Structure 1
Amino acid sequence: MNQRVVDPVFCVFSFNRPRFLENCVASIEQCVPGVRIIVFDDDSDDPDTVALLKRLGQTHEIVSPQARGDHKHGGLYWNMQAAFERLSDEALICFLQDDCQVVRPLQPGELDQVSRLFADNPELAFVHPCFIRGIDQGKVPVHDATSADGLTYFREDWGQSAGVHYSDLFITSPGRLKANNWRFHPSEPANDRQAREKFGRMAYMRSPFAMWLPEVPAYRGKVKTLALKLAERKKQCGFYPFRIWSGEETDRFLARPADSAAPIAEDFLDCGERTPPRPWTYNPLTGLRFLKQLNNVEQFFRR
């Protein structure tokens, strides 16, 4: 069997979602066997998560923050910066989060192709490994250009806050970030603006291998507003892991014509018998205008 020439380090960022974290790590183990996995945990205090981290620590590296973030996303971006600095000499690193997973086996040579993308494109900093969310399809055109080799495409820039130059889930060459004095800012839009200033557009894989899980509830221990509780109930938020493809399914996916449509998650992925209604959402309040407004009011009076 052919071996990968380039092995990226997979970094998983977690906080108080034990079932999701276990699923994410297991999906990497199954689909990219033998790869190095590091879990960067944001000081989880949920007992089940703490116990899981202890078990995972027997086979993988577990890193906890030296300081807690004080912004909306806790220590996520602090941990992303810590991971970047810790792994700055690696050829490639892949950043995932506990509420996503790898959905198919990575074939020998796929990650080597990603490495060559960076070598051949000096303005490239981020490659997105995920499918397009169906809810995004109707908002703006999915893409406006495909790379010459047909391996990637680019999102059309219609002024969206993130996703054109940067996403929190990505593959990167840390050496390239380091050479351009990159430092993670405390939000996805802020990092997209920084990436716009320093690099070209983010490349989306035409044959992605990862995806956010649909209809994910808030992390354990979060103090929820009444609006958020009602939204989670209405959306039937829960644990919906994706079915991992067979080798044959992966081969057919990789053999798609170069001019085929952009890979929309709902067109290719399923969660077995428990697949939520499509299109999937990734925030319980998405599409629920009244509850979103109520949530904002509740949060205002909690300050």
Structure 2
Amino acid sequence: MAATDLNGDVEVAIFSYNRPAYLKNCVASVQRHLPQARLRIFDDNSDDPELIAYLATLPDGTVVQPDKQSGHARHGGLYPNMQRAFDSATARYLLMLQDDTQVVRELDQSDFDAIDTVFSDDPNCAFLAVTFLRGARATRYHRLLTPDTTRGVYDTPALPDQPDYAKRIAYFDISLWHVERLRKAQWQVQNSEHDNVLQARAMFSAMPHLAAPFVFHVPEVPVYRHRTQTLAARLARRIVGTDPKRFVPMTSPEVAAMKARDLSHWPIAEDFLICVDPKVRRPFVYKDVKRHWWLALLSKLEFKLRRR
């Protein structure tokens, strides 16, 4: 597939903190599959020397640093940085990524046409999910979503006057934003994903899920909580390793087959994506401390003790 000239329609914001190898992988995937998109990295005052050195190699204007006080919240400066990315966006669409995500395939004009169609069909739609679905959550997705072959999405079947509509999927931190609609509605990023979900439910329609997604979360990622690592997390770094469990980019025939499939075959990540490392656990787990049961147990015990 030839790279599409985006003409300023899409820009990408990546949010990073102290995971240099993961950030490099995410950036490389954007540069490979969305080469025309404006790219900016919003770093949360990382102190990892390798990451700092990498950021210094990037072109002027690519890296945005928050003020030193923003990192004290539970999620560090993530949500203030998301607000900065939104406030300074210049394109029609803003793709929000984090350093542990990867763009897994090329996009062609049909992809951008599909995105335009989703938003034009519903003037009250402001967010579009562009990630594959996690296999571990398949039951939930089957309960809350239904295939819409006309629009090329999976969406909430309930209407606003039905009880299930209140539980609709409305927002992910990793998603595609319609900048103009959000600004017109005076959207303000809240300081947790849950609070952003509640705000999105109050302001907009349900968030559709693109039937042919192009982003996913890299598995078995090092975990930080309150900008520190637990004993379990430090052990996981030694046992699981710190190299990203990268996905093999989808081939053109694989992408064509995905787009042509019957939508009764849901876009579950494990059905479409393969990691470069064949030892990666399947179904995927997304925190390295969950790679082994005993690490997960140790992590759980540590958090219980910290809350006492």
Whether TM exceeds 0.5 here: the answer is yes
Match of 2:52 in 1: 50
| Maintained 8 Å contact 1:101/1:211 | yes
- Structure 1 residue 298, shift from structure 2 partner: 3.6
**Counterpart amino acid of residue 223 in structure 1:** T
| Maintained 8 Å contact 2:222/2:242 | yes
| Maintained 8 Å contact 1:146/1:153 | yes
Moved more, 110-119 or 71-80: 110-119
Distance 1:221 1:146, change over 3 A: closer
Q: Name the SS for the 1:12 alignment partner.
A: strand
Match of 2:281 in 1: 277
- Structure 1 residue 22, shift from structure 2 partner: 0.6
User: Sequence identity of aligned pairs in percent?
Assistant: 34
**Counterpart amino acid of residue 268 in structure 1:** F
**Counterpart amino acid of residue 291 in structure 1:** L
Match of 1:175 in 2: 180
- The C-alpha deviation readout for 1:231-287, integer Å capped at 9, x for no partner, is 666766752011112222222222212x33211111110112435121111134559
Q: Distance between the aligned counterparts of 1:256 and 1:214, measured in 2? A: 25
- The C-alpha deviation readout for 1:84-123, integer Å capped at 9, x for no partner, is 1111x42111000100000011112312321232222112
Match of 1:225 in 2: 230
Moved more, 131-140 or 149-158: 149-158
Q: Name the SS for the 2:307 alignment partner.
A: helix
Q: Distance between the aligned counterparts of 1:139 and 1:203, measured in 2? A: 15
- The C-alpha deviation readout for 1:189-213, integer Å capped at 9, x for no partner, is 1100000100111111110000000
User: Which ranges of structure 2 fall in alignment gaps of 5 or more residues?
Assistant: none
**Counterpart amino acid of residue 272 in structure 2:** F
| Maintained 8 Å contact 2:172/2:197 | yes
Q: Is 1:268 the counterpart of 2:269 in the alignment?
A: no
Aligned counterparts, 1:151-170, within 5 A = 151-154=152-155, 164-170=169-175
- The C-alpha deviation readout for 1:115-147, integer Å capped at 9, x for no partner, is 232222112111011000111124563543233
User: Which ranges of structure 1 fall in alignment gaps of 5 or more residues?
Assistant: none
Match of 1:241 in 2: 246
**Counterpart amino acid of residue 103 in structure 1:** V
TM-score (norm 1): 0.87
Distance 1:50 1:97, change over 3 A: same
Q: Distance between the aligned counterparts of 2:93 and 2:251, measured in 1? A: 26
Match of 1:123 in 2: 124
Selected match of 1:34 from 14, 33, 36: 36
Across the two proteins, how many residue pairs are aligned to each other? Answer: 297
Q: Which has the higher helix share?
A: 2
